[in-house]
Structure 1
Amino acid sequence: MVTAPSLIGPLEIALYAEDLEAAAAFWTGVMGLAEISRQPGRHVFLKIGAQVLLIFNPLATAHPPSAESRLPVPAHGATGSGHFCLAVRPEDLDPWRQHLETSGVEIEADFIWPQGGRSIYFRDPAGNSIELADPAIWPQLR
């Protein structure tokens, strides 16, 4: 068996949204992320801890770059809703729930997992399923 080289961990997380303005307003205004860069109609990038949340318009990224493009990023995209989970300290889950409800965000689910840890689920403006969770939901990572 071949051993793979080591990985540091996630650097970028991608979600897809056709309405980048609504996505940017949600992720900066409600979720408190800082915008790093934007290309109108194509993407908005946001700082999330030591990672970057990439929000792409799937209609723009589904096509390969032109031959004269200086960055040959392969075509990519997704249809339908995606899923993204953010780790939250257990004592911050109730304040997050209150903040989301005050911001007009509907909570879809709020429960304790059988193995421990709590998750709160809601949707971003593009319909992506967003989860805030106590890291204890993954006891294998402790």
Structure 2
Amino acid sequence: MSLLLTSLLPKISHVLELCLYARHLPTSVAFYSETLRLGAPYLSNPRMAGFSLGHTTLLLFQRGLTSADSALPSSRGLIPGHGPPGVDAPQLRTHFALAVDGAEDVEAWERELSARGVEVMGRAEWPAGGRSVYFADPDGHVGEIASRGIWPHY
């Protein structure tokens, strides 16, 4: 591809969707709704649940229900299969980070997670002043709550 064509491409602005796979969708929905206080999902069915996080959507999929291609009604397209092929597949340990403003917010979340019995897996203090706390969700994914100062852009 030529440089000219590449320079005309629209800039990618942000992550639109983050998909995590759940062994037991109701347990994961409760964790994100209640423990992380995201509120009720805007979309919920036996296959998936969706939470709005600003410009990003967090999707939780029931493991084993997304591995086959899925045709959209009225010939509107095809969603390719994704995720592990069954509920007994090994943990994926997908990493994701949720943003808060300051280090004190990270500390408050660490206290909340610990009080709720959530495994705190680690902590980090970053050179630019940011802080992070890492935790395990019910499906073994590695979550992070991070403050400003972990990246040049945040």
TM-score scaled to structure 2, two decimals?
A: 0.81
Q: Is the 8 A contact 2:16 2:57 kept in 1?
A: yes
Q: Does 1:80 align with 2:85?
A: no
Give structure 2 stretches of 5+ with no counterpart: 85-90
Find the structure with the greater CA-based Rg: 2
Q: Does 1:33 align with 2:46?
A: no
RMSD of Structure 2 on Structure 1 (CA): 1.8
Letter of the 2:121 partner, please give it. E
Selected match of 1:93 from 106, 129, 153: 106
Q: Is the 8 A contact 1:84 1:129 kept in 2?
A: yes
Selected match of 1:24 from 3, 7, 29: 29
Letter of the 2:95 partner, please give it. H
After superposition, the C-alpha distances for 1:52-111 in whole angstroms (9 at most, x for unaligned) are 100112311011125xx4162111115611011011122211111111111111211112
CA distance in 2, matches of 1:31, 1:133: 13
Give structure 1 stretches of 5+ with no counterpart: none
Q: Is the 8 A contact 1:58 1:76 kept in 2?
A: no
Letter of the 1:59 partner, please give it. G
Q: What is the total number of aligned residue pairs between the two structures?
A: 138
Q: Is the 8 A contact 2:100 2:147 kept in 1?
A: yes
TM-score scaled to structure 1, two decimals?
A: 0.87
Letter of the 1:81 partner, please give it. R
